[in-house]
Amino acid sequence: MKSSPVWSTPVMHADLDAFYASVEVLREPKLKGKPVIVGGTSSRGVVTSASYEARKYGIHSAMPTSRARRLCPNAIFIQPDFEMYAVKSKEVRRVFDSFSPVVEPLSLDEAFLDVSGASKMWAGPEEMAKGLRDDVLGQTGLSVSVGIAPNKFLAKLASKHSKPDGMVLIHPDEVDEFLRPLPVEALWGVGTETASILKRFGLRTIGDVVNLPQSSLERALGSLGGHIARLARGIDDRGVVADSPRKSMGAEETFERDLTDTGEILRVLLKLSDRVASRLRARGISGQTVTLKVRFSNFTTITRSVTLPAEVDGARSIYLVVRDLISRVLSGGGASGHPRIRLLGVSLSNLKDWPPSEQLSFDPAAGWSDADRTLDLVRRRFGEEAIEFGVLLESSD
Amino acid sequence: MHIEGEKEALLEVGQSVLRAVSPRATLPVLGGVKIEAGRDNVKFVATDLEMFLTVQGDFAVKEQGAVVVPGRLFGDILRNLPSGKVSIRGADGEVRIEAGRSEFAVTGFPVADFPSMPEVKESQRCQIAGAELARALRQVVRAASPDEGRPVLTGVLWSVEGSTLRLVATDSYRLAVRELVIKEGAESGTAIIPGRALAEFGRHLAGIGEDEVSVWLGDSQAVFSAGSTTLVTRLIDGEFPDYRKLIPESHTKHLKVATEPFAQAVERVGLVARENTPVKIHLGEEVQLTATEAGVADAWEALEEVEFEGDPMVIAFNPRFLSDGLEGLESQTAVMEVTDPARPAVLKGVEREEFIYLLMPVRLPG
């Protein structure tokens, strides 16, 4: 049974090469060809981005800077300038927009483009990708790697294989051939844990997975099994979704049993604040109005908002606000005793199209933005659960 | 109750008292203005429960008594009446306002529902020059926080030591400290007075000129009185932050600059700094202001009449906070003392020690 994805709606995944390091090279051309490492230069800093020259030494993002320094003592270390990267990212976005009306950015340096209209304007997707790479380089000075394939999953795989500064096209007829030899970890959603389960079944490559009936996989892995079976056959139905100008960004959680314990409520709020904050940062945006949503066990729902003097994108700044709001909600409960909470939500609105400048305060609790950036890096490399606030870890004991 | 007066005089008193009417009144009656006709004077009172503002006027009292009229409507009516004599009469239920050929019958609030003014217990009294206090309030009150989440910071610290009164406000991003001399009375002591009440009183004072202001500080209330205006406000409970330790004892960079051109340059460059992007000050041999709104506009301007001592440095500020400080200086030459782009800057007038303004910088992303 061989799937035949429809080629009429090709998806492009464009991924800038060593983005932050490349921006630094643009700013300081004499760094060209040298191992350039962008990252925290303090004793506990980590690598944010490394030029391909630096990667030859085994240096990769989220590695402690101290280790990178040992691996490549003569590398040039630079403190990140996120304001600059956001500006540059928008320049690149303008080029993307000129190629497709449907652009879905994943972060400052990568995006999906729905290029189904390519056939009308260009000889084909391949020519279009070449045009895009030329335009990005010409208009921004940055090199971008491009993957084109019948769907998002394959397009992202293709761009990975095209790096650096390349282009890979997976034609519908070649999907099976392309996927089969790849390790199972290449499947979207397969982390170390799932991979080890698959390996216990003797499944090492995507080809191995395809050879197994989908029903067996579902028995072993539940619904994830069906998902993996489809991906292994090159099937991915997710469409490219244009990032409509957002009005707010939030995270919420419904609880199996109602929450009453203040400590537990605060831990959930910290987790939600952190989730919203990292989403904001992934898009290089920020928000100025923080809203707390509380649904009680009787389904009454209230929201409380505060508009801050300046926009924020940090978990701690958001958490401090929602902590104040919840304490007022809980103390306002009055005679009704401990309220039972069924759902908590944290959202940011009044969104700004740029990362925040941080209005410093006389309050000693400042200085958290560096920690937030490190959090993002570790997560990007090792997964969402790789790093959390200490207080959240305690709660899982 | 029945009073008569000239439209312009009634309008003046009515408008000044209406400002204390809370726009978001929680009780309908708080949107009202109480008119109290005594034997030989007429008082207009408004309150938001936090403060009571009373303005007296010289109007003819035909019949003693009191009414409570809906504030906004009362103001609108007064404003639009023809010039000349106005008569206001009524009791609970209906108030009739007549002028020339116009006549209004307005449904009033029950007088008994209007909150009564708190009694101010035995308190300390002091006297201050009105114009001086008005200036000091203008300099300081704007640094108070609008955020009810931290009530103490919405207030102004009123601190008396001997014959010196010190007013202090901070929203945790900037700090304003102003000293002034008490003309008479008062022992040492402190109170935290709601910024909104002081702003209101300051506006009244601005119109009064050199009049004396009397201030009584009680345990939970303060009374401010100048001419025909009396304001009673509750005090804010809590401990004001120890502002003295925020003021840096030393600095490594010293900027001297003509105040007015500096303030204007901040306004101009700040046009680009929409929302909350900061204005950057590039300190060095040449001193430049810049602002960037990514993808929208850039602005830069070199300052004139500047002297700078110290190593070059870039420091960024919220332009509104910076303008607030500069407007308060009352000195032709401003001094800015800084050490580090992440530590507070001190703004003051050259050879003027009575006012200082501390301002935390904005840290740029990255």
* B147 vs A: CB within 8 A: yes
Inter-chain CB proximity B276 and A360 less than 8 Å:
no
Work out the pLDDT band at B352, boundaries 50, 70, 90: confident
User: Looking at beta carbons, which residues of chain B come within 8 Å of A352?
Assistant: 275-276
Q: Which residues are CB-neighbours of A28 under 8 A, at least 6 positions away?
A: none
Other C-beta atoms closer than 10 Å to the C-beta of B166 total 18
Give pLDDT, residue A219: 85
Work out the pLDDT band at A358, boundaries 50, 70, 90: confident
Q: Output the CA–CA distances (angstroms, integers) from residue B25 to A22, A226, B77, in the order listed.
A: 57, 59, 20
The 3-state DSSP class for residue A53 equals helix
* B363 vs A: CB within 8 A: yes
User: Looking at beta carbons, which residues of chain B come within 8 Å of A309?
Assistant: 171, 173, 276, 318
Nearest to A313 by CA among A283, A349, A355: A355
pLDDT at A293 > cutoff 90:
yes
Work out the pLDDT band at B128, boundaries 50, 70, 90: very high
- CATH value at residue A259: 3.30.1490.100
Q: Which chain B residue's Cα is nearest to A359?
A: B362
Nearest to A303 by CA among A344, A351, A332: A344
The 3-state DSSP class for residue A221 equals helix
Give pLDDT, residue A384: 61
Work out the pLDDT band at B207, boundaries 50, 70, 90: confident
Mean pLDDT of A347-353: 89
Query: Do A28 and A120 share a domain, yes or no?
Result: no
Give pLDDT, residue B297: 80
Give pLDDT, residue B319: 94
Q: Which chain B residue's Cα is nearest to A94?
A: B295
Domain termination site, one of A207, A232, A257: A232
Query: Do A114 and A205 share a domain, yes or no?
Result: no
CA dist., res. B204 & res. B41, Å (int):
20
Has residue A1 been placed in a domain? no
Give pLDDT, residue A5: 40
Tokens 């998902």 sit on residue: A227
pLDDT at A389 > cutoff 70:
no
Mean pLDDT of A225-246: 85
Mean pLDDT of A97-108: 87
Top residue of B274, B275, B293 to mutate, by most chain A CBs within 10 Å, is B275
Record the tokens describing residue A112, joined without a space. 């999906």
Window from A34-43, A361-370, B46-55, B210-219 with minimum mean pLDDT: A361-370
Q: pLDDT over 70 for what percent of chain A?
A: 86
Whether cis (ω within 30° of 0) applies to the bond prior to A73 is no
* B104 vs A: CB within 8 A: no
Q: Which chain B residue's Cα is nearest to A321?
A: B149
Q: Give kind and range of the element (H or E) at residue B177.
A: strand B174-181
Tokens 């991003």 sit on residue: B173
Record the tokens describing residue B339, joined without a space. 């050490």
Query: Do A101 and A131 share a domain, yes or no?
Result: yes
pLDDT at B218 > cutoff 90:
no
Has residue A297 been placed in a domain? yes
Query: What is the phi/psi pair of residue B79, to 5°?
Result: -60, -35
Has residue A397 been placed in a domain? no
Nearest to A283 by CA among A21, A86, A38, A96: A86
CA dist., res. B135 & res. B199, Å (int):
11
H helix intervals, chain A: 19-27, 52-55, 65-71, 82-99, 118-121, 125-140, 152-162, 175-179, 192-200, 206-211, 214-221, 223-232, 262-282, 315-331, 369-382, 390-395
Top residue of A84, A359, A373 to mutate, by most chain B CBs within 10 Å, is A359
Query: Do A329 and A227 share a domain, yes or no?
Result: no
Q: Is the pTM of this model over 0.80?
A: no
Domain boundaries, chain B: 2-113, 124-244, 250-359
Nearest to B330 by CA among B176, B208, B169: B176
Nearest to A314 by CA among A281, A292, A344, A350: A281
Residues of B315-328 as b/e, b for ≥16 C-beta within 10 angstroms? bbbbbbbbbbbbeb
Architecture in CATH for domain B250-359: Roll (3.10)
Inter-chain CB proximity B170 and A362 less than 8 Å:
yes
* B247 vs A: CB within 8 A: no
Give pLDDT, residue A6: 43
User: Looking at beta carbons, which residues of chain B come within 8 Å of A80?
Assistant: 366
Query: Do A270 and A343 share a domain, yes or no?
Result: yes
CA dist., res. A390 & res. B253, Å (int):
40
* B249 vs A: CB within 8 A: no
Inter-chain CB proximity A79 and B366 less than 8 Å:
yes
Residues B271-310 pLDDT 10s: 988 666 799 999 988 899 998 876 678 888 999 889 999 9
Q: What is the ipTM metric for this complex?
A: 0.82
CA dist., res. B165 & res. B187, Å (int):
10
Q: How many CA atoms lie within 13 A of B42 on its CB side?
A: 29
* B169 vs A: CB within 8 A: no
User: Looking at beta carbons, which residues of chain B come within 8 Å of A82?
Assistant: 365-366
Q: Which chain B residue's Cα is nearest to A305?
A: B149
Whether the CB-CB separation of A238 and A106 falls below 8 Å is answered with no
Concatenating the DSSP letter of every residue in B120-169 gives: PPS-EEEEEEHHHHHHHHHHHGGGS---TTSGGGGEEEEEEETTEEEEEE
Has residue A151 been placed in a domain? yes
Give pLDDT, residue A46: 85
Query: Do A258 and A331 share a domain, yes or no?
Result: yes
The CA dihedral of A70, A76, A80, A84, to the nearest 10 degrees, is -160
The β-bridge relationship of strands B32-37 and B42-47 is antiparallel
Give pLDDT, residue A73: 92
Has residue A205 been placed in a domain? yes
Query: Do A255 and A304 share a domain, yes or no?
Result: yes
Q: Which residues are CB-neighbours of A262 under 8 A, at least 6 positions away?
A: A330
Give pLDDT, residue A247: 83
Work out the pLDDT band at B21, boundaries 50, 70, 90: confident
Top residue of A358, A363, A368, A369 to mutate, by most chain B CBs within 10 Å, is A358
Q: Which residues are CB-neighbours of A81 under 8 A, at least 6 positions away?
A: A23, A24, B365, B366
Among all residues of A, which ones are annotated catalytic? Answer: 110
CA dist., res. B364 & res. A338, Å (int):
43
CA dist., res. A361 & res. A310, Å (int):
11
pLDDT at A396 > cutoff 50:
no
Residues B181-192 pLDDT 10s: 998 877 788 999
Residues B252-270 pLDDT 10s: 999 999 999 999 999 999 9
Nearest neighbour of B277 by CB, restricted to A79, A357, A361 = A357
The 3-state DSSP class for residue B342 equals coil
Beta pairing partners, A64: A46
Q: Output the CA–CA distances (angstroms, integers) from residue B24 to A307, B30, B47, B48, B49, in the order listed.
A: 18, 9, 12, 9, 12
Minimal C-alpha gap between A299 and chain B (Å): 26
Mean pLDDT of A239-266: 86
* Domain count for chain A: 4
- CATH value at residue A206: 1.10.150.20
Q: pLDDT over 70 for what percent of chain B?
A: 96
CA dist., res. A283 & res. A281, Å (int):
5
Mean pLDDT of A5-25: 84
Record the tokens describing residue B44, joined without a space. 């207009």
Inter-chain CB proximity A357 and B365 less than 8 Å:
yes
Window from A54-68, B117-131, B251-265 with minimum mean pLDDT: B117-131
CA-based end-to-end distance of chain A: 47
**Length in residues, chain B:** 366
| Domain interval for residue A325 | 248-386
Work out the pLDDT band at B47, boundaries 50, 70, 90: very high
CATH fold of B2-113, please? DNA Polymerase III; Chain A, domain 2 (3.10.150)
B2-113 against B250-359: fold identical: yes
CA dist., res. A168 & res. B229, Å (int):
80
pLDDT at A336 > cutoff 70:
no
Beta pairing partners, B175: B170, B358
Mean pLDDT of A119-138: 85
pLDDT at B100 > cutoff 60:
yes
Has residue A237 been placed in a domain? no
Query: Do A255 and A380 share a domain, yes or no?
Result: yes
Give pLDDT, residue B209: 67
Has residue A239 been placed in a domain? no
Give pLDDT, residue A382: 64
Tokens 């216990």 sit on residue: A200
Window from A51-55, A96-100, A171-175, A385-389 with minimum mean pLDDT: A385-389
**Highest mean pLDDT of the ranges A42-46, A86-90, B103-107:** B103-107
The 3-state DSSP class for residue B230 equals strand
Window from A198-212, A243-257, B245-259 with minimum mean pLDDT: A243-257
Minimal C-alpha gap between A81 and chain B (Å): 4
Domain termination site, one of A129, A151, A173: A173
Mean pLDDT taken over chain A: 85
Minimal C-alpha gap between B359 and chain A (Å): 9
Query: Do A263 and A333 share a domain, yes or no?
Result: yes
Record the tokens describing residue A37, joined without a space. 């490492």
User: Looking at beta carbons, which residues of chain B come within 8 Å of A355?
Assistant: 365
pLDDT at B13 > cutoff 70:
yes
Looking at domain B124-244, which of 3.90.1300.10, 3.10.150.10, 3.30.70.20, 2.40.50.140 is its CATH number? 3.10.150.10
Give pLDDT, residue A82: 79
Domain termination site, one of A154, A173, A192: A173
Residues B231-254 pLDDT 10s: 999 999 999 999 999 999 999 999
Residue type, A369: S
